[in-house]
Amino acid sequence: MARKGVTDLEALLTDMCPSLSATPFAFATVASLQDVPASVRVLATFEEAEGFSVIAPFDEIDHAGMTHSGPWAKISLVVHSSLSAVGLTAAIASALAHEGISANIVAAYFHDHIFVTWESRHAAIRILNKLGGGEP
């Protein structure tokens, strides 16, 4: 049985511990998931009216010749956030937006993942650490 996630916003911010992946990612779209080449290790998908959005390593999507947006940096929050928590996404998006950084947030079962432009990744980590009360 899965453990219960944190819902308290103050605890979520204090314990979020943002972790930056060394892998650049890309967002792409395909009509069918069968259109994703086997060489592309898919991190996530989401079905939309226009097709399937795919998140995968930038180099793999680029090498496969898929139309994409990126590179994007993935910042994962270590805290186990509840899907019913209120305010975490807003706090993160607002803090990053205040500094002109776009935040594409994916909430998964255990953790939240923020995709920011590759160039803004280090600034985003500093902002998130500051938001959580960590080092500026």
Phi, psi of 43 (to 5 degrees): -85, -45
Q: For residue 22, what pLDDT is reported?
A: 98
Q: For residue 84, what pLDDT is reported?
A: 82
- Domains of the chain, by residue range, sit at 9-131
- CA dist 129 and 136 (Å) reads 6
Q: Is the pLDDT of residue 1 over 60?
A: no
For 16, residues 6+ apart whose C-beta sits below 8 A from its C-beta are: 77, 78, 79, 88, 128, 131, 132
CATH 3.30.2130.10 is right for the domain spanning 9-131? yes
Q: Is the pLDDT of residue 49 over 90?
A: yes
Instruction: Give the global pTM.
Output: 0.91
User: What average pLDDT score do residues 65-70 get?
Assistant: 93
